[in-house]
Homo-oligomer: A and B are copies of this chain.
Amino acid sequence: MIYAPPLKDMRFTLDAIAGLSDIARLPGCAEATPELAAQILDEGGKFAANVLAPLYRYGDMEGARLDNGVVRTPRGWTEAYKAYVDGGWPGVPFDSGHGGQGLPWTLATPLAEMWNTANLGWALCPMLTAGAAEALAAHGTPWQKATLLPRLVSGEWTGTMNLTEPQAGSDLGAIRCRAVPDGDAYRLSGQKIFITYGDHELAENIVHLVLARTPGAPEGVRGISLFAVPKYLVGAEGRPGARNDVRCVRLENKLGIHASPTCVMAYGENGGALGTLVGEEGRGLECMFTMMNNERLAVGLQGVAVAERAYQLARAYARERRQGRDGATGEAHAPIIRHADVRRMLMTMRALTEAGRALCYAVAAELDRAKRQPDEAARKDSQALVDFLTPVVKAWCTDTGVEVASLGIQVHGGMGFIEDTGAAQILRDARITPIYEGTNGIQARDLVGRKLLREGGATAARFAALVDATAARLTGELAPIGQNLAYAVEAYESATAALLATGARTPEAAAAVAVPYLELVGVLAGGWVMARAAAAEEVAASPGFRAAKRTTARFYADAILPRTEALETVVRTAGPSILGLAEDAF
């Protein structure tokens, strides 16, 4: 099998780390029972393994193409998308009022993981569509909610995010696309780049969410509004009609995700693309951020997803490939999984993948709590934790996704460099995840600037207390894990205190160590959820599973958590050195 969904670890993580039974007690979540969860994961796993996974390698080789103005996706893409829509998968986390199934994000998360592990280039289309649906659900007009939203929720239509322009990447204030009022609508013109699934023939229409400036709007981000611009104009009966004035003019030639069309989009070459305002004028960035925060969690999950794929591929190769003597028994022509260093690589891959999974599911559950807990203070607390951990999930899980994918190549030796093996594709595909949806540098700036310094470290301290409480609970055979976790909390607290002090005096020096700080928080958060997994009651259900989980958690504590030692020193001391070289001396 190309991909065997890790259902056992997923179910365990949902139960023990996300607390699915608690989530099911939240208002509106009564359907999210363990039985339904198991059934959904089983069905989703079959779809991912049988339909999506076999297209992954082929999709990379064929790639998306632009033929006479029409974007063609690889063979099999359309059928897979139709099966996805027919299966009702797009609507899982959306309100039943919009045609969704009203299930919690906690349950949608393992599904999205499976789509992405099975076929990252394919899964981007549903991911962007879900993001567009969220933005309309939160900020759409009644017409948009009645007409566009249900078709995104059903998957009949797909959605895109149009932020970037050649001069406006991380700096969205520099956006120049224009939107001129025309009756109830607006006419948009300008160029957008890096538009994922900006065009294709998988669905009968595409709803582009586009950031643009209205006439007379102020400079910078306050002058930016959000618009919904359909590929085909929507008629009175809600059906796609005439072609709108928007087209894909080029596909980018990329390192990876070749199957995913990354489009340069031209708006308004013939008088303006008709669109409708989403939310209020000048509030476009806020509307977009509703969606972007969840997309950031979704991209972090992609990091975990590609790591899982790399791990499964490397594990299979390590069992099959025979080279050299078994280090322990001396047996000749032993499978390379018997070699100590291959074991080290596989354990690193496994531990980072399981830790990333547990962290993503934990934050998804916290998001459901932030949305649905009856108590307002509890909702706020949950939201603060989600806000603090969102950049960490995005950046740390994608960085570790790249690390794991690269280790996957290394396990393959020379064969890892040969494209036929598939290991190289995983690294090529993974490499985009630390870049898109806000580079990991931007995530770190968000963590340190908005989430740490602005609130004086309050949530950071709460997070430390949570981890400390876990560490204190680890006794007996788990005590060594608890001890290493406690050391890591100390490193985190020291780094946090140093950063709070530096940030007050010299913000640039704090910004210079934001990425190592985020990595420290990520390593610690991964250690936290792995420790919780080792100690969870649910782990006892299966002795084999318990032994494996505890061994993996111990490995994480011994081999991954020590990274916090180095990172603490860097955060505490390296700021001035980073900024010390004169610009012209580079």
Contact = CB atoms under 8 A, between A and B. Distances in A.
A409 B431 contact: yes
Interface stretch (A184-192, A383-391, A570-578): A570-578
Interface in A405-436: 406, 409-410, 413-414, 416-420, 424, 427-428, 431-432, 434-436
A544 B585 contact: yes
B428 A255 contact: yes
A217 interface: no
Interface stretch (A106-114, A164-172, A460-468): A164-172
B579 A343 contact: yes
B333 A174 contact: yes
Interface in A94-108: none
Interface in A538-586: 544, 547-548, 551-552, 554-555, 557-559, 562-567, 569-570, 573-574, 576-583, 585-586
A454 B445 CA distance: 48
Interface string A104-130: 000000000000000000000000000
Nearest to A548: B585
Interface size on A, as a range, is: 35 or more
A252 interface: yes
A578 B508 contact: no
A565 B582 CA distance: 29
Contacts of A323: 168-171, 174
Contacts of A441: 339, 341-342, 345, 410
Given A565-B565, A573-B558, A585-B544, A340 B579 contact: yes
Given A406-B402, A417-B256, A577-B551, A340 B169 contact: no
B341 A577 contact: no
Interface in A455-510: 507-509
A296 interface: no
A514 interface: yes
A578 B445 contact: no
Contacts of A347: 577-578, 581
A499 B337 CA distance: 22
Contact of A445 (B341, B551, B559, B570): B341
B434 A410 contact: yes
A250 to B, nearest CB: 11
Contacts of A171: 323-324, 333
A194 B414 contact: yes
Interface in A62-100: none
Contact of A583 (B338, B444, B512, B576): B338
A327 B506 CA distance: 11
B327 A586 contact: no
Interface string A267-310: 00000000000000000000000000000000000000000000
A243 interface: no
15 contacts: A171-B323, A255-B419, A327-B508, A328-B508, A339-B441, A340-B508, A344-B513, A344-B578, A350-B586, A416-B435, A417-B431, A417-B435, A548-B585, A559-B577, A566-B567
